[in-house]
Chains A and B, each alone.
Chain A
Amino acid sequence: MQFGALLIDGFREALDRKIFWVLIGIAVVVAAAMFCVEFRSDQVIFLFGLHTTPNTNWDPATEAGRKGIVDIGVSVMDLILGWVGTTLMVIAAAGAFPAMMEKGAIEVVLGKPIGRARLFFYKYLASMTLVALVSVVFVGLTFVVMGVRWKVWMWPYLLSVPLSLLMFSYIYCVTVLVAVKTKSALASVLLSLVAWFVFWIFGYLGAQFSANPSLERFEKWRAPIVAASWVPPKTLHVTYFAQRWCGGSKAEDVLKMADMPEFKSADMGDAGNMVRDTLLVEAHLMRTDPVSSIASSLIFEAAVLLLAAWSFRRQDF
Chain B
Amino acid sequence: MTMLHTTELTNWAVDLIDVHKTYRRKVKALRGVHVQVGRGEVFGLLGPNGAGKSTLVKIMMTVVHPDRALGTVLGRPIGHRGKLGRIGYLPENHRYPGYLRGEQLLDFYGALSKVPRVQRRKNAAYWLERVGMKDWAGTRIREYSKGMMQRLGLAQALMNDPELLVLDEPTDGVDPVGRRDIRLLLTELKGQGKTILLNSHLLSEIELVCDRVAIMKEGLVARQGPLRDLTERVLGYRVRLGGERAANAARIGSMSEKLAAMGARIEDHVVQLASQEIGRVNELIDLLRAGGLLIESVEPRRLSLEEVFVEVLGAGSHVGAARPT
Contact = CB atoms under 8 A, between A and B. Distances in A.
- Please determine whether chains A and B interact with each other in the same assembly: yes
Contact of B89 (A104, A108, A115): A108
A12 B100 contact: yes
A115 B85 CA distance: 12
Contacts of A109: 112
A12 B107 CA distance: 13
A220 interface: no
A307 interface: no
Given A103-B93, A104-B95, A112-B84, A316 B104 contact: no
B58 A317 contact: yes
A92 to B, nearest CB: 15
A202 to B, nearest CB: 36
Interface string B95-118: 111111000100111011110110
B91 A111 contact: yes
B271 interface: no
Given A2-B112, A8-B108, A316-B64, A105 B82 contact: no
Contact of B111 (A2, A12, A15, A317): A2
A111 B82 contact: no
A316 B63 contact: yes
B62 A12 contact: no
B96 to A, nearest CB: 7
Given A107-B58, A111-B61, A15 B99 contact: yes
A12 B112 contact: no
A112 B61 CA distance: 8
Contact of B112 (A104, A114, A314): A114
Contacts of A106: 63
A114 B84 CA distance: 8
Contacts of A9: 97, 100, 108
A5 B93 contact: no
Interface string B64-102: 110000000000000001111101010101111111100
A111 B23 contact: no
Contact of A108 (B81, B100, B107, B109): B109
B138 to A, nearest CB: 14
- Most-contacted residue by chain A among B23, B97, B112, B116 (CB, 10 A): B112
B95 A113 contact: no
Contacts of B100: 9, 12
A234 to B, nearest CB: 36
A261 interface: no
Nearest to B99: A16
Contacts of A15: 99
B93 A104 contact: yes
A108 B156 contact: yes
A168 to B, nearest CB: 23
A1 interface: yes
Interface in B120-178: 156, 166
A102 interface: yes
Nearest to A3: B111
Contacts of A12: 97, 99-100, 104
Contacts of A30: none
Interface residues of B, number: 35
A15 B140 CA distance: 13
Nearest to A99: B97
Contacts of B109: 108, 112
B65 A314 contact: yes
A125 to B, nearest CB: 15
Contacts of A8: 108
Contacts of B83: 113
B146 to A, nearest CB: 12
Contact of B62 (A5, A103, A110): A110
A42 interface: no
A16 B58 CA distance: 30
A314 B64 CA distance: 9
B89 A107 contact: yes
A113 B114 contact: yes
B114 A1 contact: yes
B63 A107 contact: yes
A13 interface: yes
Interface string A102-135: 1111111111111100000000000000000000
Interface string A155-179: 0000000000000000000000000
Interface in A1-55: 1-2, 4-6, 8-9, 12-13, 15-16
A104 B173 CA distance: 15
A107 B108 CA distance: 15
B214 to A, nearest CB: 21
Interface in B1-48: 23
Nearest to B58: A107
B108 A111 contact: no
By Cβ-Cβ distance, the 4 closest A-B pairs, closest first, are: A104-B95, A5-B111, A16-B99, A111-B89
Interface of A: 1-2, 4-6, 8-9, 12-13, 15-16, 99, 102-115, 314, 316-317
Given A5-B107, A106-B63, 11 more contacts: A1-B114, A2-B114, A5-B111, A9-B108, A107-B91, A108-B94, A108-B109, A111-B61, A113-B114, A115-B81, A317-B63
Interface of B: 23, 58, 61-65, 81-85, 87, 89, 91, 93-100, 104, 107-109, 111-114, 116-117, 156, 166
25 contacts: A1-B116, A8-B108, A9-B97, A9-B100, A9-B108, A12-B100, A15-B99, A16-B99, A103-B93, A103-B95, A104-B93, A106-B63, A107-B63, A108-B89, A108-B156, A110-B61, A110-B62, A112-B112, A113-B113, A113-B114, A114-B81, A114-B112, A316-B23, A316-B64, A317-B63
